Copies of this chain bind each other. A is one copy, B any other.
């Protein structure tokens, strides 16, 4: 029987940080543990699954509890359930999520992150509690894979954005430069974006703004639905 087994949900939350004089960096929020095993270590946000909520709901709830926001993309990652991954028996259902950069920035400027929450660059993480390093590594691997063959990346950007901005997201996620012209064709051919009539005016030639096409977003990964 499984009476002594508890179910937790953890969510690896990705967003972008603007850096002066450097390309945007992929970052994620961690929570400093205030109790129990691994006291004061950093951990992936999460919590116990409640009896009256589904797994997806629990992921969305804990995401909201740590960031005050709801995700533009949320997907189950993996169930971690080795016997020794925690001193007590815990099965953790891991999720990963994308938060829009503008919403995170807005949230942080009005209401700064709680004392025990901090954002870290994915390339510069602290020592983590439990097996959370594995969870993050896997989430990062899935994100990079998914970016390569779907149009997920727009989940990190505001409603409207230029192709350059989107390309920079891809570059931040994948960790390498992409050819602007080929990137344009790739995206335009995919029908994941719809062009608007607005332009972003800045230092140089104005760039057309695009909008994410919600229709296409769904049918990308197959079941479960």
Instruction: Report A219 CB to chain B, min CB distance, Å.
Output: 12
| B2 pairs with A78, CB closer than 8 A | no
Give Cα distance in the complex from A93 to B182, angstroms: 41
Give Cα distance in the complex from A53 to B76, angstroms: 23
| B93 pairs with A223, CB closer than 8 A | no
Count of interface residues, chain A, beta-carbon cutoff 8 Å: 34
CB < 8 Å neighbour of A81 from B80, B93, B141, B145: B93
Look across to chain B and name the residue whose beta carbon is closest to the beta carbon of A145: B222
Interface membership of A52, Cβ < 8 A: yes
When A5-B7, A134-B224 are in contact, do A79 and B76 touch as well, CB less than 8 Å? Answer: yes
The number of times this chain is found in the oligomer is: 2
**A:49-88 near B, CB below 8 Å:** 49-55, 76, 78-83
Using A2-B6, A80-B224, A138-B224 as known contacts, list a sample of 13 further A-B pairs with CB atoms less than 8 Å apart, ordered by residue number in A: A1-B50, A1-B51, A2-B7, A5-B6, A5-B7, A5-B51, A51-B83, A52-B83, A54-B83, A55-B79, A55-B82, A79-B93, A91-B93
| 19 pairs of residues in contact across A and B, judged by CB atoms under 8 Å | A1-B6, A1-B50, A1-B51, A2-B6, A2-B48, A2-B49, A2-B51, A5-B51, A7-B81, A51-B83, A51-B89, A54-B83, A55-B82, A76-B79, A78-B224, A79-B93, A80-B224, A81-B93, A141-B223
